[in-house]
Structures are given as C-alpha cells and as structure tokens.
Amino acid sequence: MEDEVLRERVEGINWFHTIDLGDGVITPGQDNSFEKLETLQMPGDLTGKSVLDIGSWDGFFSFEAEKRGAEKILATDSYVWDGRSWGSKEGFLLAREVLGSSVEDKNMDVMDMSPDTLGVFDLVLFLGVLYHLKYPLKALENVASVTGDQLILETFVDLIHIKNPAAAFYQQAELEGDSSSWWAPNPPAVESMLKTAGFKQVKKIYSHPLWFRVGRAMKLRLSNSDSFFNALNQSRVVYHAWK
C-alpha cells in the first residue's frame, strides 16, 4: 500500500490505540498504548500460547501478543465494533491488513463468553472493560471460564480510600461524563471478585502513583467535572490472576 494512500486511510478513522504501522506511520490514538503496555507486564515470550483479547478495539494488544510469538490470538469486541461508541472496527481491520497479521476476530459480548462459544485460552487480556459493564462479577466469571492459565486485568477503580471491598455505581455519566461507565470497584473488591470468579492467585501489578492522581484530581476540579476528593480516590490498576 502506498504511503499516501495509507495515511489517507489512517486519517479517516477515529483511533483509540496508538499503533506503529511501519514506514513512519503511527495511528493518532487517544490511548498511549506503548506506555500502557509497560504497566501490563505482559509475558515477553508467548511462543506457542493462545491469547484472547477481550474488548480489543483497534487491536494493539492483540498484535503485540503476536509479536511475542503467540500461536493463536483471538480479538473480540462488541460495543465498539458494533458502532455503539465513537470508535469502530475499521481501525482493527486496517491495522491487521497493513501489519500482515494473522490475528482472528469475533464480534462477541463478554456476557456471551463461555468455553462452548469461544474455547479456552492460555492468556486472556481484559483491558479497560470491567467498569463499563452492568454485571461485572458475572463478566469475571465468564472470563474465568475461558482462561486456561493467566488473566491480565486492567480497569478503573474508585473509593481507594476504603479498605474493605466496595464499589462506586455511576447512574448518569458521573464518571467524566461517560455514560458507558457503570461500576468501579476498589482494589480490595477487584481482588475479592477475581477470587470469587475462580482465580486462585491474584497479584496487583500496577496502580497510578499519588502524583498522577493528584494532578488528575486538580485538572478535573478546575473543569468542575468532579470534586478533588472524589477524583483523588480514583485510579487505574493492573492485576495478574492465575487459575
């Protein structure tokens, strides 16, 4: 594909992920995908492994798993790929084409996942999805059922000042004006939910540092979109869980 044609196609898509397509073409994603990749601590060698990427969007992490040697990768999505958000499946399709990728795809909601509908995968990526779901515990049970070994979970959390398991419920786009956000558990709740869903070992790998949370809280306070205290007790976390 000629560079000019590729750049025109890239410009015509609303990208979430930042993907290096080669020859100096990098998609203008809202997400700093390369930085997020560092926080996930995905295994460096996935040779021979099967990987399921739930909520794949533009597919950055599916393609990264392929680079690391995964034998079978299945990217799934429904909300974005079905056109219910500002994004679409076009980014994934273009990136797969340009990268010459063998990543498979399936339009499927996490609430419909089971070993019968998908099979079981060595590694499951469940990134930025949990807090967008009305029934997060049921979703985690479904995710656990298709996880053969390890899950990497990345999610938004709230109420981090509370030591016991708790969750914030957003009824009317209280979370930064996003009407697709429903529940944000705190870290103890995330750990408890993962264990309830069937994961025997759970480890927190990453959370936003205090300086980051303070800066975010000040920014949101200045925009009058949230109180400083509420925003200070919100973060993003990464958990690794094993069956």
Token reading at 80: 């974005």
Q: Do 86 and 146 belong to one domain?
A: no
Q: Which amino acid is at 27?
A: T
Q: Do 18 and 96 belong to one domain?
A: yes
Would 72 be classed as within a structural domain? yes
Token reading at 87: 């994004």
Q: What is the pLDDT of residue 225?
A: 66
Would 221 be classed as within a structural domain? yes
Q: Do 239 and 176 belong to one domain?
A: yes
Q: What is the pLDDT of residues 148-199, one digit of tens each?
A: 999 999 999 999 999 999 999 999 888 888 899 999 999 999 999 999 999 9
Would 116 be classed as within a structural domain? no
Q: What is the pLDDT of residue 177?
A: 83
Strand, coil or helix: 53? strand
Q: Do 143 and 103 belong to one domain?
A: no
Average pLDDT score over residue span 48-58:
98
Q: How confident is the prediction for the chain on average, in pLDDT?
A: 95
> Of 86, 108, 130, which one is at a domain's C-terminal end?
108
Asked if residues 73 and 60 have their Cβ atoms less than 8 Å apart, the reply is no
Q: What is the pLDDT of residues 115-139, one digit of tens each?
A: 999 999 999 999 999 999 999 999 9
pLDDT bracket for residue 4 (50, 70, 90): confident
Q: Do 102 and 176 belong to one domain?
A: no
Its pTM stands at 0.96
Q: Do 153 and 91 belong to one domain?
A: no
Number of domains the chain is built from = 2
Q: Do 32 and 81 belong to one domain?
A: yes
Would 118 be classed as within a structural domain? no
Q: Do 73 and 160 belong to one domain?
A: no
Token reading at 128: 């930025």
Would 48 be classed as within a structural domain? yes
Q: Do 100 and 145 belong to one domain?
A: no
Q: Do 103 and 145 belong to one domain?
A: no
Token reading at 196: 């309830």
Asked if residues 129 and 110 have their Cβ atoms less than 8 Å apart, the reply is yes
- Owning domain of residue 26: 1-108
Would 114 be classed as within a structural domain? no
Spatial CA neighbour of 60 closest among 82, 85, 92: 92
Would 133 be classed as within a structural domain? no
Helix (H) / strand (E) element for 35: namely: helix 33-40
